């Protein structure tokens, strides 16, 4: 028969693992919905645990952000490296920008993490050091192939992705697919003249829909990114 202290220790460890999983899942949901401005108190409330439990697992919000978004950033770096392997240089650009816009449109926190890319953690530094050279190579290859405007820089891609993301956030309550329209407009704007223009896959917002989006954005309970 096992000592009672051993059984209690195992139960405590199992509880700790479950609590950590609940905390990370709660943080993942909150970051996606409301961005990085949430507090550890918000996470504790969503997870159904005491705030002290959260602080025992994560000393600060930066640690929690690293835990939640390391996987997302790893996949983002994988996507950039995959786009670089696309045999068509233009389709490599399209593949990367589409991936970025698609994931940012549904995850506010991910968008903010990509915008900053400066969290002072070793894990984020490693991922950033994979991502930035891959994006630079995507742009350089497309320029050399003559399918991208020659003055487009890697930083332009990030800026354009965030422009699309900003419109996606604004219109999400009315039309969560509108980002696809602005992605196509963006790609049409940076392509070389030798590349065929993309059709716009989603119609523009009507004036009434723009007004509805403005109302949703200023509602008291609406989450604001910045």
Write down all domains in the chain, each with its CATH number in brackets: 1-59 (1.10.10.60), 68-218 (1.10.357.10)
Q: Give CA–CA dist 20/64, Å, rounded.
A: 11
Tokens of 103: 């994931």
- The Cα-based distances of 93 to 49, 56, 167 in angstroms read 44, 43, 20
User: For position 120, what pLDDT does the model report?
Assistant: 62
Bridge partners of 191, per DSSP, are 148
User: Mean pLDDT across the chain, nearest whole number?
Assistant: 85
Residues 6+ apart with CB under 8 A from 224: 217
pLDDT in tens, 47-100: 999 889 988 888 888 888 888 888 788 888 999 999 999 999 999 999 999 999
- Angle at CA 139, nearest 5°, toward 137 and 140? 65
Residues 6+ apart with CB under 8 A from 77: 127, 130, 131, 134
Helix (H) or strand (E) holding 150: none
pLDDT in tens, 108-126: 888 777 766 566 667 777 8
User: For position 113, what pLDDT does the model report?
Assistant: 79
Q: Give CA–CA dist 96/98, Å, rounded.
A: 5
Bridge partners of 148, per DSSP, are 191
pLDDT in tens, 176-225: 899 999 999 999 999 999 899 989 999 998 999 888 988 887 765 444 44
User: For position 176, what pLDDT does the model report?
Assistant: 87
- The Cα-based distances of 135 to 51, 79, 161, 180 in angstroms read 39, 10, 13, 21
Tell me what percent of the residues of the chain surpass a pLDDT of 90.
38
Phi, psi for 167 (deg, rounded to 5): -70, -35
Hey, which bits of the chain come out as E strands? Answer: none
pLDDT in tens, 159-170: 898 888 888 888
Tokens of 77: 């770096």
């Amino acid at each position: 028969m096992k000592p009672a202290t051993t059984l209690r220790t195992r139960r405590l460890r199992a509880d700790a693992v479950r609590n950590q999983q609940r905390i990370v899942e709660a943080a993942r949901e909150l970051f996606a919905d409301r961005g990085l401005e949430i507090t550890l108190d918000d996470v504790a409330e969503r997870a159904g645990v005491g705030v002290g439990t959260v602080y025992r697992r994560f000393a600060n919000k930066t640690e929690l952000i690293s835990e939640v978004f390391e996987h997302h950033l790893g996949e983002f770096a994988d996507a950039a490296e995959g786009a670089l392997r696309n045999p068509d240089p233009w389709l490599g650009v399209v593949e990367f920008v589409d991936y970025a816009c698609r994931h940012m449109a549904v995850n506010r926190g991910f968008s903010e993490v990509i915008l900053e890319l400066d969290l002072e953690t070793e894990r984020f530094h490693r991922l950033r050091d994979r991502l930035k050279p891959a994006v630079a190579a995507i742009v350089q290859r497309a320029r050399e192939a003559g399918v991208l405007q020659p003055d487009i820089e890697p930083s332009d891609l990030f800026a354009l992705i965030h422009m699309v993301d900003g419109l996606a956030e604004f219109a999400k309550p009315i039309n969560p697919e509108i980002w696809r329209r602005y992605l196509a407009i963006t790609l049409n704007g940076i392509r070389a003249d030798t590349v065929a223009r993309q059709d716009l896959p989603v119609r523009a917002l009507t004036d009434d829909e723009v007004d509805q989006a403005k109302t949703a954005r200023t509602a008291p309970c609406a989450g604001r990114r910045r």
